[in-house]
Structure 1
Amino acid sequence: MIETPGILLTILSFVLVIGPLVFVHEMGHYLAGRYFGIKADAFAVGFGREIAGFTDKRGTRWKFGWLPLGGYVKFAGDMNPASQPSAEWLSLPAEERQRTFQSKPVWQRAIVVAAGPVVNFVVAILILAGFAFAYGDIRMPPVVGGTVPGSAAAAAGLQVGDRITAIGGRSVETFDDLARFARIRAGERTQIDAVRGGQTVSRDLVIGTELQRDRFGNEYKIGRLGIAGSKPVIVPVSLIEAPVIAVKRTGEIVSMMVETLSQVITGRRSVKELGGPLSIAKVSGEQMSLGLDAYVFLIALVSINLGFINLLPVPMLDGGHLFFYAIEAVRRRPVEPQVQEWAFRGGLAAILALMLLVTFNDLGNFGLWKNLAGLIG
């Protein structure tokens, strides 16, 4: 039976995920800018028309918009998308100009821009560290405990007791390393290396495909090797070890994101699998209905996603700004304003096109296009 969390719970869950995460992202920019003496003209909590607000003693207008989905920070002197000096900026009094974003050296501007994504990663690491400390670390050696009949592992001739050392040319330390590799490579051919009786054996195999459906009716295509692991061991984690494990888990998640993105770019994975805000909203409601642990873990995943996406070298995103700052640091002068302007226009167009694509995909996943086709037919 397919369960649905309900529209009100879905909306509430989405707001409680996206709103705070975008807020802390912008707070990262704000605090870094404040540390370097940059004045913030405005810090908006939410979007749309201002429904309440106040101006603090530093002259920052704190605005609360009617749509509580994040916000933004506007630094003094940041008068164009490329943050380039303009005639308006040059006309400012010298003392006021020193408190603007453009007046700061490139390394300070880079830190201010990078602070937003960094905070998103820090939030995720804190959450994952909390899970590690509360529940321990599940560790399972990459030893074959059995193979599923008809599976990729069985077809490759893997045997009980084989210790997997590498897959696809990548070293394997835990059973999770195997599962993560296979999960996003359904149907791909690869090589698996193992130690059997002191001898190294190598086998080629095609990763199996398993179609899963959860209680909410969502379908997922998962890559499976068909290997049963040995008995897992839950190891208690200290407060000192927890952040280390959390950083490692964050790195593994980012690595999987990079792999998945490369698969989409190279055509090995369909663009139809890309989701947007509507998908996040749907999953938010589903995870909240599953319990607090599932919901908090989703917040960590979304926070990592926000940090990762914002660091992509796409103009209009933080990574695009950092890309131009890197060029400026090498050339010892900024990229020409007209070049940046056209780059940011292109970046905006690309982001808008991506938003249209993922929204189209989301509506398709919700069955809208199928229903419309049925009505027309």
Structure 2
Amino acid sequence: MQGLLVFILIFGVLVVVHEFGHFYFAKKSGILVREFAVGMGPKIFAHTGKDGTAYTIRILPLGGYVRMAGWGDDKTEIKTGTPASLTLNKEGVVTRINLSQRQVDQTSLPMNVTAYDLEDRLTITGLVLEETKTYPVHHDATIVEEDGTEVRIAPLDVQYQNATVWGRMITNFAGPMNNFILGTLVFILLMFVQGGTPDPETNQVRVTDGGAMQMAGVKDGDRILQIGSSQVSNWEDLTVAVDKTTQNLKKGQSIDVLVKAQDGQEKTLSVTPKSSNGSFIIGVMPGLKTGFMDKVVGGIRESWQGATVIIRALKNLITNFSLNKLGGPVAMYQMSNQAAKSGLVDILYLMAMLSINLGIFNLVPIPALDGGKIFINIIEAIRRKPLSQEVETYITLAGVGIMLILMIAVTWNDIMRAFF
């Protein structure tokens, strides 16, 4: 249960932060955000803000989305003959179109819709008491959809396609950008939680619980001066010395380690390294720099190193593709479950790495991903005119199809690896 809660928390935070980037810069670019949803599926709460955005919470606590006017398949479709109720202001202009039978307004005007234009001319036509009538629709009118969600209509001037190319580009980039920012902030928080940032320039160490050095009596803050015949002055020296000293070591054999305790006393200890994945480890980590700026800089450095690792892995995936190198929700749940068992430090590390991973992956120039949209924006900037909405929709649908097939394949592969 704890692992599931951690999974929901991490996945939810990553996606909501990502979508908030799109949301914020869409509004700054003049694009109407019709809905900002936390979660997926049927809604359980909705509130329409003064900015015209419907803020909803949906029943499945996995992810969320931003519904921008005119983007993708965001269309208001009313079938001929659909019953609706219209709310009119004093000037006879429609301010609310209710298509839902769940929210009945006794003061509204009933109509069976026969025609409408909610993007350009802003009119709605239909049968009212068997007489055909046409009413003007207010630019900021709302429409209650069949599932009860009330959103603003989407006139052409506030649609995604009519924002500047730079506005669209920053809107698309803002999601990954937020993930990079979140990953860096979580890494900085991690440095404070663990008391500092690893210092590879010193021979001062921290011991792992139950590790060989702890069993030999070494404590956090002690210094390792020598391993076997190799002198140690920093972390690189230490790792090289361990590899050299344990090269021909057999399981159960010990090595000599010269340690300087925090009180200045030096002593040679007999340490029995533990075997792990074909090599030997002595159970230590680099000492910590504990200054405020050390922690901040350390968090930034960790995020950069994490991004470098992910980019190398992505490059390797492209050159040597294998489903085993990918992980979907099942793999993410397994990692969350393991992190939950290990504690807060591992949870924060996982969240930071996944956030950076999400940001980098979304910048891959595949249609349906943010990188694909940015690529289209670059083409539009070069052409100095946007692609037609129809062409962009076809490209996006092709990308969605590819991503859907890949997601199904990855999830199936995760299930097979986990349970069979």
TM-score (norm 1): 0.67
| Distance (Å, rounded) in 1 between the aligned partners of 2:29 and 2:60 | 30
Q: 5 Å matches for 1:227-242?
A: 232-238=286-292, 240-242=293-295
Q: 5 Å matches for 1:76-155?
A: 76-80=69-73, 89-91=119-121, 96-134=155-193, 135-140=195-200, 141=234, 142-143=236-237, 144-148=240-244
2:217: which partner in 1? none
Q: Residues 284 and 232 from structure 1, CA distance in 2 versus in 1: closer, same or farther, beyond 3 angstroms?
A: closer
1:252: which partner in 2? 305
| Distance (Å, rounded) in 1 between the aligned partners of 2:377 and 2:14 | 25
Choose between structure 1 and 2: higher helix proportion: 1
Q: Residues 211 and 133 from structure 1, CA distance in 2 versus in 1: closer, same or farther, beyond 3 angstroms?
A: closer
Residue 26 of structure 2 corresponds to residue 33 of structure 1: yes
Residue 413 of structure 2 corresponds to residue 361 of structure 1: yes
| Distance (Å, rounded) in 1 between the aligned partners of 2:336 and 2:283 | 31
Provide the secondary structure at the position in 2 that maps to 1:289.
helix
| Distance (Å, rounded) in 1 between the aligned partners of 2:5 and 2:49 | 30
1:282: which partner in 2? 334
Choose between structure 1 and 2: higher strand proportion: 2
| Distance (Å, rounded) in 2 between the aligned partners of 1:94 and 1:48 | 29
Task: Say whether the 8 Å CA contact 2:187–2:348 is kept in structure 1.
Answer: no
Instruction: For residues 223-242 of structure 1, give each alpha carbon's deviation from its aligned partner in whole angstroms, at most 9, with x where no partner exists.
Output: x8x8999994422232x454
| Distance (Å, rounded) in 2 between the aligned partners of 1:285 and 1:307 | 22
TM-aligned CA deviation for residue 49 of structure 1: 0.8
TM-aligned CA deviation for residue 16 of structure 1: 0.9
Number of matched pairs:
287
TM-aligned CA deviation for residue 66 of structure 1: 0.7
Instruction: For residues 248-276 of structure 1, give each alpha carbon's deviation from its aligned partner in whole angstroms, at most 9, with x where no partner exists.
Output: 32222122112112222222x74323211
1:347: which partner in 2? 399
The one of 303, 307, 324 equivalent to 2:376 is 324
2:267: which partner in 1? none
Q: Percent identity?
A: 33
Provide the secondary structure at the position in 1 that maps to 2:158.
coil
Task: Say whether the 8 Å CA contact 1:132–1:237 is kept in structure 2.
Answer: no
Instruction: For residues 43-71 of structure 1, give each alpha carbon's deviation from its aligned partner in whole angstroms, at most 9, with x where no partner exists.
Output: 11111011221111222111111101111
| Distance (Å, rounded) in 1 between the aligned partners of 2:404 and 2:190 | 36
TM-score (norm 2): 0.61
TM-aligned CA deviation for residue 343 of structure 1: 2.6
Task: Say whether the 8 Å CA contact 2:35–2:56 is kept in structure 1.
Answer: yes
Q: Residues 294 and 234 from structure 1, CA distance in 2 versus in 1: closer, same or farther, beyond 3 angstroms?
A: same
Q: Residues 260 and 270 from structure 1, CA distance in 2 versus in 1: closer, same or farther, beyond 3 angstroms?
A: same
Q: Residues 69 and 136 from structure 1, CA distance in 2 versus in 1: closer, same or farther, beyond 3 angstroms?
A: same
1:172: which partner in 2? none
The one of 335, 353, 367 equivalent to 2:387 is 335
Q: Residues 235 and 242 from structure 1, CA distance in 2 versus in 1: closer, same or farther, beyond 3 angstroms?
A: closer
Structure 1 gap ranges (5+): 1-7, 82-86, 153-209, 213-221, 371-377
Structure number with greater CO (CA < 8 Å, separation at least 6) is 1
| Distance (Å, rounded) in 2 between the aligned partners of 1:231 and 1:123 | 26
| Distance (Å, rounded) in 2 between the aligned partners of 1:211 and 1:91 | 71
